[in-house]
Chain A
Amino acid sequence: MKFDTPATTNPIDRLKVIGKPTNRIDGPLKTTGAAPYAYEQRDIPANAAYGFIVGSAIAKGRLVSVDTADAEAAPGVLTIVTAANAGTLGKGDFNTAKLLGGPDIEHYHQAIALVVAETFEQARAAAALVRADYARARGAFDLTAAMDSAAPPKPMFGTIADTAVGDFDAAFAAAPVTLDARYTTPDHSHAMMEPHATIAAWEGDRLTLWTANQMVAWSVGDMAKTLGIPKENIRLVSPYIGGGFGGKLFIRADALMAALGAKAAKRPVKIALPRPFIANNTTHRPATIQRIRLGATKDGKITAIGHESWSGDLPGGGPETAVGQTRLLYAGPNRMTRMRLAVLDLPEGNAMRAPGEAPGLMALEIAMDEMAEKLGMDPIDFRILNDTQVDPEKPERPFSQRQLNECLTTGAGKFGWAKRSAKPGAARDGRWLTGMGVAAAFRNNINATSAARVRLDKAGVVTVETDMTDIGTGSYTIIAQTAAEMMGVPLDKVVVKLGDSAFPVSAGSGGQWGANSSTAGVYAACAKLREAVAAKLGLNAADAEFVDGEIRSGDRRVSLGEAAGDAGLVAEDRMEYGDLADKYQQSTFGAHFCEVGVDAATGEIRIRRMLAVCAAGRILNPKAARSQVIGAMTMGAGAALMEELAVDKRFGFFVNHDLAGYEVPVHADIPHQEVIFLDETDPTTSPMKAKGVGELGICGVAAAVANAVYNATGVRVRDYPVTLDKLLGGLPAIA
């Protein structure tokens, strides 16, 4: 099915199942420990062995030799894989550095060997006996130092290094009120709770991978390319994923090394990456340095808006696209953005939840707060004044839906914004300085082709099969809701099977495109199944109704089970997209509100209240969508207050590479969180009229927190995370 004209009324609009805050259908499995994650699969060949990966001790250079003799002689060891005996390996399209290093070393903790042994304990012990000699080379590890050498990145995924509209320089120079500020965001780790894990098993020349992966088809392709075998010979199974946030978009060392180890050992091999290995071995959100310049008239109309960003990555890698939202979020006739990419020999930078917008808005939405203050305006009024309903670069191109102002005003009312003191450092609650902050949230909507297969059996049960993944997003549930709505059956008559490359190729989980795209694919398949049911009964699908487990046409009513018969019915289709996303700018919007308390003596920062108001198309399941948003708000709170991969700029690695060193929020950091979804359906996005929300939720959060800290203390911190050491100098004098 091709979606190339805006949706009209369709069966989804019945909203009997869609749009309801249904409990997750996978809840009973997840809450009882019965959901099998990658390392826990049971239907694997017997006799699995255990793998343990050895990582490089240097960031850049050459492996002179790897002595595996002691490790090979260790009890229980079956085989050891290194680049020297792994055979010729390619590199996946989505990988920047090789997953198995040697002789060249590209980053710290790059895999250099795999030890396979009978037991986990034996593999781990033997891995410590692998002795490596390195020739260390000089590397670049300091983004600030590398700024001058940074170059325009190659265009990727529609991002452009330099954009310009009007005459930014002249307008900025002429503006009566200006802001020119520099902001930094650090490297972030996904820190999902389930480590990357894979079980690999070969049957002849066919490989099965039970792994934790967000993008099944991409990863089959990349594994085939890396191993040099046909895609058809690989089956990848990923039914439950313990969090991804972008960290599991691609095959990583666990998958490749398990495949190589299983081949060498002639047995299935299980590998989970040790936690202290993940930060440097896998990908991370790259640090940015951002310069934002705003020029405005005295009454607050933006006349010039400029956003530049510098980030680094390994050779061949890409930039953190932190300027993207600035092309679309606010009005202003004179605009420029610029991205520069430096070569850094730190581990591979890549996508993490809302890549681009998340760090971009961390900076832009502080800048807007600073500018509002310079103008003597309320930060909400300033944003509303500079709203635009069209793409500011192409005014003939409207937003399909844009309720940013409504998000801001609704939130302001709900949050009690009127009680905020415009003057910073003016509110106090005992030992706590208190303050409120706001930020706009913005994230583009992306649609991706997505397919599904639906089966109908004689019991009237609808079974959906698609390689879509559920990384905690609720895919199982919203796909079941979609199929139930389309086929007119209750939710308990739907079975959803996900995450298997034997199933039709879906959009996968990334870029907040998963919910709308994958359900639209299910919509298409169900539309086809409706036709098949009607055709089998000699009815016209167009005027047939699917209600209460029956197909009804005129005075004929046939139960779906009966229609399916013993043979059952099956239909498969995919949703593809025309050019509506070119005609309309499809984006999601929100407003984040935050109240903090800052200990007047110590500078300790604690979040007291959080509210998000989101306008993101039809909300398919308000319960699951709300969870996506509160989870993103929590991650945003982490980015605001504590998350930073600390770089050792001498040796080129992330020093705090475990969950004690890389702090993410815990229960005690997070207050009650409120989420409001504005009523919205977007007929330009798909027949579901939905958009993504899982990444919108993190966009702007950190800036709202940082702005609240400023409002509480009067100390403006432009370098994340906003930690107490950066506040101490500006806090009130103590007795």
Chain B
Amino acid sequence: MKAFTYERAATPAGATAAFAKAPGARFIAGGTNLLDLMKLQIETPAHLIDVSRLALDTIEPTKEGGLRIGAMVRNTDLAADARVRRDYGLLTRALVAGASGQLRNKATTAGNLLQRTRCPYFYDTNQPCNKRQPGSGCAAIGGVSRTLAVLGASEACIATHPSDMAVAMRALDASVETVDAAGKARAIPIADFYRAPGTTPHLETMLEPGELITAVTLPKPMGGTHIYHKVRDRASYAFALISVAAVVQKDGSGRVALGGVAHKPWRVEAAEADMPRGAKAVASGLLAGATPSHDNAYKLPLVERTLAGVLAEAKG
């Protein structure tokens, strides 16, 4: 880990102002991913701005009937919130499927969205990785890729996004609220939040340098049965091989997003029209254009089968 200077921000404006004075700084909140990466010098900020104590740790109703989740709300608290459990069960289910109790106690809503990939080649600084060192190549392509992306990947990168929470957020049509150094606030729909890897896989989200996430908002509850099925080899404390987040209404309509298959939570709204026709029909739309490797081709039938299980469970 490279030496860094440290300051604690008292307000969101203070945090973004601090960044303006120290370009190349990073915001740190829970730290459960950033610090991990700093130890390996995958991340090497010279200055850390501690945003963990910002007063962004509450969950408030919005006037549209949804919820506004402060960026610093811990994963545990978000999962345990009575309103979330009642109206956005999918989100609670996704949160508690992720990481461990200890990590969820630290990890924040904003930080969870900004997790970086768990691709083993990204984590090994001896290996070429376009995400870690732009232009160095991708060792994962042609390498060990059982856990890696089958959708949306590029010739430069086949990493997946590791978050469970983000998959639920995508299915729930969440929106990411931010503020930049000039004090300008904006809201980014989660559908537009993550970038495709393309030739620049090191650029992962639409956030500008120094732009701070302040909240994630959820639209008003949509009802239905909420199911998050995370598939993994071991029963807990593991990243998803694939995951299926679904909200299924009584008439069989609904929405579905996938985790563990792409650089971002994967959702194809057009495919959801086929929900009443069953998993096969939805999966063919969801998985269109997939480019699996020998090691991860199993993810395609696995998605279809998992979705079938989820739809059967939703029917009861």
In the complex, which of the residues A58, A650, A731 contacts B305, with contact meaning CB atoms closer than 8 Å? Answer: A731
Complex Cα spacing A651 to B143, Å = 9
| Contact partners of A606 in chain B: CB under 8 A | 235
* Cβ B309 vs Cβ A734 within 8 A: yes
* Cβ A660 vs Cβ B146 within 8 A: no
Distance from B190 Cβ to chain A, minimum over Cβ atoms (Å): 25
Q: Does A655 contact B (CB under 8 A)?
A: yes
Contact with B along A613-646 (1 / 0, CB 8 A): 0000000000000000000000000000110001
| Contact partners of A599 in chain B: CB under 8 A | 309
| Contact partners of A641 in chain B: CB under 8 A | 233-234
In this complex, the interface size class of chain B, counting residues with CB under 8 Å from chain A, is 35 or more
Contact with B along A716-735 (1 / 0, CB 8 A): 00000101110011010011
Q: Which of B48-56, B59-67, B79-87, B117-125 contacts A (4 or more CB under 8 A)?
A: B117-125
* Cβ A656 vs Cβ B234 within 8 A: no
Q: Does A42 contact B (CB under 8 A)?
A: no
* Cβ B143 vs Cβ A648 within 8 A: yes
| Contact partners of B311 in chain A: CB under 8 A | 735
Distance from A141 Cβ to chain B, minimum over Cβ atoms (Å): 12
Q: Does A666 contact B (CB under 8 A)?
A: yes
Which chain B residue lies CB-closest to A641? B233
* Cβ B231 vs Cβ A604 within 8 A: yes
Q: Does A663 contact B (CB under 8 A)?
A: yes
Distance from B38 Cβ to chain A, minimum over Cβ atoms (Å): 10
Distance from B102 Cβ to chain A, minimum over Cβ atoms (Å): 13
In the complex, which of the residues A601, A657, A668 contacts B235, with contact meaning CB atoms closer than 8 Å? Answer: A668
* Cβ B237 vs Cβ A666 within 8 A: yes
* Cβ B305 vs Cβ A601 within 8 A: yes
Distance from B199 Cβ to chain A, minimum over Cβ atoms (Å): 23
Which chain B residue lies CB-closest to A109? B126
In the complex, which of the residues A125, A669, A721, A731 contacts B3, with contact meaning CB atoms closer than 8 Å? Answer: A125
Complex Cα spacing A58 to B139, Å = 13
Q: Which of B177-185, B268-276, B296-304 contacts A (4 or more CB under 8 A)?
A: B296-304
* Cβ A660 vs Cβ B305 within 8 A: no
Task: Tally inter-chain residue pairs, CB-CB below 8 A.
Answer: 111
* Cβ A276 vs Cβ B123 within 8 A: yes
Given the contacts A124-B39, A602-B302, A655 and B235 also touching, CB distance less than 8 Å: no
Given the contacts A124-B1, A650-B142, A669-B234, A602 and B124 also touching, CB distance less than 8 Å: no
| Contact partners of A725 in chain B: CB under 8 A | 146, 241, 298, 302
* Cβ B40 vs Cβ A663 within 8 A: no
Complex Cα spacing A646 to B308, Å = 30
| Contact partners of B120 in chain A: CB under 8 A | 646, 655-657, 661
* Cβ B234 vs Cβ A660 within 8 A: no
Which chain B residue lies CB-closest to A122? B3
| Contact partners of A603 in chain B: CB under 8 A | 302, 305
Name A561-606 residues within 8 Å CB distance of B. 599-604, 606
Q: Does A15 contact B (CB under 8 A)?
A: no
Q: Does B144 contact A (CB under 8 A)?
A: yes
Contact with A along B22-54 (1 / 0, CB 8 A): 000000000000000001110000000000000
Which chain A residue lies CB-closest to B309? A601
| Contact partners of B233 in chain A: CB under 8 A | 641-642, 663, 721, 723-724
* Cβ B306 vs Cβ A601 within 8 A: yes
* Cβ B127 vs Cβ A651 within 8 A: yes
Name B237-251 residues within 8 Å CB distance of A. 237-239, 241
| Contact partners of B127 in chain A: CB under 8 A | 651
Q: Does B279 contact A (CB under 8 A)?
A: yes
Q: Does B219 contact A (CB under 8 A)?
A: no
Q: Does A431 contact B (CB under 8 A)?
A: yes
Contact with B along A121-152 (1 / 0, CB 8 A): 10011001000000000000000000000000
* Cβ B302 vs Cβ A728 within 8 A: yes
In the complex, which of the residues B124, B144, B239, B305 contacts A734, with contact meaning CB atoms closer than 8 Å? Answer: B305
In the complex, which of the residues A75, A657, A734 contacts B279, with contact meaning CB atoms closer than 8 Å? Answer: A734
Complex Cα spacing A728 to B278, Å = 19
| Contact partners of B308 in chain A: CB under 8 A | 601, 734-735
| Chain A CB within 10 Å, residue with most, of B124, B146, B279 | B124
Distance from B61 Cβ to chain A, minimum over Cβ atoms (Å): 35
Contact with A along B210-244 (1 / 0, CB 8 A): 00000000000000000001011111111101000
* Cβ B139 vs Cβ A658 within 8 A: no
Given the contacts A599-B309, A602-B309, A734 and B304 also touching, CB distance less than 8 Å: yes
* Cβ A724 vs Cβ B239 within 8 A: no
* Cβ B235 vs Cβ A669 within 8 A: yes
Q: Does A665 contact B (CB under 8 A)?
A: yes
Which chain A residue lies CB-closest to B235? A668
| Contact partners of B146 in chain A: CB under 8 A | 646, 725
In the complex, which of the residues B40, B126, B234, B241 contacts A57, with contact meaning CB atoms closer than 8 Å? Answer: B126
Q: Does B206 contact A (CB under 8 A)?
A: no
In the complex, which of the residues A58, A276, A602, A656 contacts B229, with contact meaning CB atoms closer than 8 Å? Answer: A602
* Cβ A668 vs Cβ B236 within 8 A: yes
In the complex, which of the residues A656, A721, A724 contacts B144, with contact meaning CB atoms closer than 8 Å? Answer: A656
Name B65-92 residues within 8 Å CB distance of A. none
* Cβ B41 vs Cβ A431 within 8 A: no
Name B128-151 residues within 8 Å CB distance of A. 139, 142-144, 146
In the complex, which of the residues A121, A658, A668, A729 contacts B1, with contact meaning CB atoms closer than 8 Å? Answer: A121
Q: Does A667 contact B (CB under 8 A)?
A: yes
Distance from A673 Cβ to chain B, minimum over Cβ atoms (Å): 15
Complex Cα spacing A138 to B55, Å = 57
Q: Does B10 contact A (CB under 8 A)?
A: no
Complex Cα spacing A124 to B311, Å = 50
Given the contacts A669-B234, A735-B278, A276 and B40 also touching, CB distance less than 8 Å: yes
Given the contacts A728-B298, A734-B309, A602 and B235 also touching, CB distance less than 8 Å: no
Interface residues of B (CB under 8 A from A): 1-3, 39-41, 118, 120-121, 123-124, 126-127, 139, 142-144, 146, 229, 231-239, 241, 278-279, 298, 301-302, 304-306, 308-309, 311-313
Interface residues of A (CB under 8 A from B): 57-58, 75, 121, 124-125, 128, 276, 431, 599-604, 606, 641-642, 646-648, 650-651, 655-658, 660-661, 663, 665-669, 721, 723-725, 728-729, 731, 734-735
**Among all A-B residue pairs, the 7 with the closest Cβ atoms:** A601-B309, A725-B298, A57-B126, A668-B235, A668-B236, A734-B308, A646-B144
Question: What are some 8 contacts across the A-B interface (CB < 8 A)?
Answer: A128-B41, A601-B308, A648-B143, A661-B118, A665-B234, A668-B234, A668-B235, A735-B279
